[in-house]
Amino acid sequence: MWKDFVNLLFPEVCVTCQTLLVEGERHLCLSCSAKLPIISADCSEGYQDLMQRFWGRVPLSHALPFLHMTRKGSVQKIIHQIKYKGNKDLAFTLGSWAGGTFSEMYANQFDQLIPVPLHPKKLKLRGYNQSEEFAKGISLIWSCPLSSTAVERVHFTETQTKKSKYDRWLNVEEVFRVANPGEVQNQRILLIDDVITTGATLEACAEQLLQAGAKSVGVGSIALAAKN
């Protein structure tokens, strides 16, 4: 009854089109859910696009972006809700959807999921790590262990949003460290971020994991930003 009362005062709306949600819908209306630009489970297009961004930089075992993101598109609105509007449950929900999408091909390909960490200052400000919430959803579907303590962000970095490709790389150089190498040695790791643009953040983090003895590192994300 209390939930019905709250919904009457503050009705839930779709995060992308703002229409009222009906019973059974969560975060997104059925129409917007059906239109999500999900990258094919065989990863043909998204896989090649993302792998090309890392060629010659760091060896990756897999590339699993979930959604295509374009400027001012529906996925950008979703990411804004997750990062700046406190909607961490949306990140978890998307993680469970991604887990289901990729489950048949990849659920048994990894020993551990590791979300890209936030600096403690940013974590305190936001209240949660959006990449970790997304990873939790995948972990639930795949029954794959998740570690949020294996990697630490040791330097506070400025936002990457308006930086050039080179400046993004400089901004994350020597930012991460593996807190406990024994936790990642000989592990097949899926490193998870929220949005992949140039891949500088994931590159810096993946390098640390491989240097610490990880058997392999793949990358996954909520969204893959379109190339400029």
The string of pLDDT tens digits covering residues 95-150 is 999 999 988 889 999 999 999 999 889 899 999 999 999 999 999 999 999 999 99
Q: What is the CATH number of domain 37-225?
A: 3.40.50.2020
Q: Please give the Cα distance from 53 to 18 (Å, whole number).
A: 34
Q: Please give the Cα distance from 205 to 174 (Å, whole number).
A: 9
In terms of Cα–Cα distance, which of 113, 81, 104, 107 is closest to 94?
Answer: 81
Neighbours of 112 (CB within 10 A): 19
pLDDT for 46 equals 59
Q: Is 176 exposed, middle or buried (0-12, 13-18, 19+ CB in 10 A)?
A: buried
Kind of pairing, strands 112-115 and 63-69? unpaired
Question: What is residue 180's DSSP assignment?
Answer: -
pLDDT for 63 equals 87
Q: Please give the Cα distance from 175 to 47 (Å, whole number).
A: 26
CA count, 13 A, side-chain hemisphere, 24: 3
Contact assessment for residue 192 and residue 116, using Cβ atoms and an 8 Å cutoff: yes
Q: 15-74 pLDDT, tens per residue?
A: 999 999 998 899 999 999 999 999 875 555 656 777 777 877 889 998 899 999 999 999
Contact assessment for residue 14 and residue 29, using Cβ atoms and an 8 Å cutoff: yes
Contact assessment for residue 187 and residue 147, using Cβ atoms and an 8 Å cutoff: no
Q: Hey, what amino acid is at 118?
A: L
> 3-25 burial string, b = 16+ CB within 10 Å, else e?
eeeeeeeeeeebbbeeeebeeeb
In terms of Cα–Cα distance, which of 195, 191, 223, 196 is closest to 208?
Answer: 191
Percentages helix, strand, coil for the chain (3-state, rounded to 5) are 45, 20, 40
Tell me the whole-structure pTM to 2 decimals: 0.86
pLDDT for 166 equals 46
Residue partners of 26: CB distance under 8 A and separation at least 6:
93
Domain boundaries, the chain: 1-35, 37-225
